[in-house]
Structure 1
Amino acid sequence: MQSLPKSRLLRFVEQAFHLAQRAVARHSSKFSKRRYTLYQHIVLLCLKVQKNTTYRTLLDELIEMPRIRRAINLDELPSPSTLCKAFNRLDMAIWRVLLNLSVTLLPTNGVVGIDASGFDRSHASKHYTKRTKLTIQQLKVTLLVDTRANAIIDSHVTTTRKHDSQIAPSLIKRNADEVSTLLGNKGYDDQKIRALPREKDVRPLIKHREFSSLHKAWNVRLETDLYGQRSQNETVNSRLKRKYGAFVRSRHWWKQFRELVIGCLAHNIDKTL
């Protein structure tokens, strides 16, 4: 019988497993039961977000996926509670390291756009929330996106209504070495935002709020092919919501933050394929 080619899902799992081996140790501690490895936990959590499903549904589908199980050396399926506890134990720092490693697999060019989008904190139906007059607060997610590879370089998540100009400085400082040109819309029109990139040898291309004819003239100068690449941020925001869902399944805020970072990691791995 002719061997079947590798599916996109199998290649996703292999790439995630490779990144996990580079980022973490095999087991969480020397006192670990060593029944499952951290590599396997990371891959299964990435797979859950990538498939936009629940723990139980994912494990049920894995029963019929011998090639996927073989790729990560998984002889026995964990219980849903095991995966949930692994998600609690894996710190945000580990997911950020994995995100940074995934960027190195893509051909970035240093031209980076910054933009924010909202994600729902619950997947209750719109009809139900409207009838019961519930208000569901959104998460504000700010992404740094490389315009060449559509790779997510970094992300910032908040539950508050912070203005864009308050969020951008931390992202710029963290990623100054990977950015040569920063593209932003009028929401980032702030003198501090313009000065900070220049201190880091980063060129800011940010639209001005139009309070005078001079501001309008400056904005006309920005209408170039380079600034037009900022639209890639909108593309990535749309892709995240369409493919991985416009809501987060977790109930605690710190889990919701991790879930969104895993979504960014899954996006980068998908782009490598």
Structure 2
Amino acid sequence: MQALPKSRLLQFVEKAYHLARRAVARYSSKFSKQRYTLHQHIVLLCLKVRKNTTYRMLIDELIEMPRVRNAIGLEELPSPSTLCKAFSRLDMAVWRVLLNLSVTLLPTNGVVGIDASGFDRSHASKHYTKRTELTIQQLKVTLLVDTRANVILDLHVTTTRKHDSQIAPTLVKRNTAEVAILLGDKGYDDEKIRTVARENGVRPLIKHREFSSLHKAWNARLDADLYGLRSQNETVNSRLKRRYGAFVRSRHWWKQFRELVVGCLTHNIEKAL
């Protein structure tokens, strides 16, 4: 009987498992019960986001996935609460390391676009959102996307009404090694962003808000073909929402932030297949 080829799901699991083994130790502590490894937890959490499902449904589907279980050495299935607690224990720093490692799986060209989008927080019940006084119903997520392979280099998440001009300098400083040209729309028209970019060896290609004929002339001189690559950001934003959901499932803000980073990590792994 001919062996079955590897499905994209199995390839995804193997790639995520390889990254997890590069990023973290096998167990979180010497006092761990050593029933499940951190590598297995990371893969299952990425798989949950990829399938856009709940912990309970994921565990139920894993019963019928022997090849996936064998790929990560999972001999017995964890309970949904075990995965939920693992997600709470894994720090944001771990997910950021994994995101940085996933960037190395894809070719980049240094032409990077920056753009923001909103993710809904009102997936919770109306009673919950009212009781916890969630007045801001969306998270503002700013993505830094390399335009060659649509790989997500970094992201910034906030629950406030922080302006784009306050977010961009942080992302530029954090990723100077990966950014050669920064593409941005008129929302990023701020002299501070341009100054920070130039100081870090980055060429800013940002449209000016047209308050005078001089601004119109500057916009006319922009490299249209190069600036047109900025639309890749909108493509990535759309893909994240269509494949993994336009909302976050977690209730706590810090878990919502982590959930979005896992979504970006999952996107990069899938692009690498």
8 A Cα contact 2:124 2:249, kept in partner: no
8 A Cα contact 2:169 2:193, kept in partner: yes
CA distance in 2, matches of 1:253, 1:149: 30
Residues 81-160 of structure 1 mapped to structure 2, 5 A cutoff: 81-123=81-123, 137-160=137-160
Aligned counterpart, 1:56: 56
Q: Percent identity?
A: 84
Aligned counterpart, 1:21: 21
CA distance in 2, matches of 1:87, 1:18: 19
Aligned counterpart, 1:251: 251
8 A Cα contact 1:120 1:136, kept in partner: no
Q: Aligned-pair distance for 1:110?
A: 0.5
Gaps of 5+ in 1: none
Aligned counterpart, 2:210: 210
Gaps of 5+ in 2: none
CA distance in 2, matches of 1:80, 1:30: 24
Question: SS at 1:20's partner residue?
Answer: helix
Q: Aligned-pair distance for 1:122?
A: 2.6
One-letter amino acid of the counterpart of residue 171, structure 1? L
One-letter amino acid of the counterpart of residue 49, structure 1? V
CA distance 1:136–1:173, change in 2 (3 Å) = closer
Q: Aligned-pair distance for 1:221?
A: 1.4
**1:81-112 deviation digits (Å, cap 9, x = unpaired):** 10011000000000000000000110000000
Question: SS at 2:102's partner residue?
Answer: helix
Q: Aligned-pair distance for 1:222?
A: 1.4
Question: SS at 1:118's partner residue?
Answer: strand
**1:213-270 deviation digits (Å, cap 9, x = unpaired):** 1101111111521110000000000000000000000000000000000000000000
Aligned counterpart, 1:272: 272
Aligned counterpart, 2:163: 163
Answering whether residue 238 of structure 2 is matched by residue 241 of structure 1, we say no
What is the count of residue pairs matched by the alignment? 267
8 A Cα contact 2:28 2:38, kept in partner: yes
CA distance in 1, matches of 2:109, 2:21: 26
CA distance in 2, matches of 1:16, 1:115: 26
Give the superposed CA RMSD: 1.4
Q: TM-score, normalised by structure 1?
A: 0.95
Q: Aligned-pair distance for 1:135?
A: 6.5
Answering whether residue 257 of structure 2 is matched by residue 261 of structure 1, we say no
CA distance in 2, matches of 1:125, 1:239: 26
Aligned counterpart, 1:30: 30
CA distance in 2, matches of 1:105, 1:272: 6
**1:170-208 deviation digits (Å, cap 9, x = unpaired):** 101100111000000001100010000100011000000
Q: Aligned-pair distance for 1:137?
A: 1.1
Answering whether residue 80 of structure 2 is matched by residue 80 of structure 1, we say yes
CA distance in 2, matches of 1:73, 1:137: 40
One-letter amino acid of the counterpart of residue 207, structure 2? K
Q: Aligned-pair distance for 1:123?
A: 2.3
8 A Cα contact 2:124 2:251, kept in partner: no
Q: TM-score, normalised by structure 2?
A: 0.95
CA distance 1:90–1:124, change in 2 (3 Å) = closer
CA distance 1:36–1:162, change in 2 (3 Å) = same
Residues 164-203 of structure 1 mapped to structure 2, 5 A cutoff: 164-203=164-203
Q: Aligned-pair distance for 1:72?
A: 0.3
Aligned counterpart, 1:12: 12
Which consecutive segments of 4 or more residues in structure 1 shift more than 4 A? none
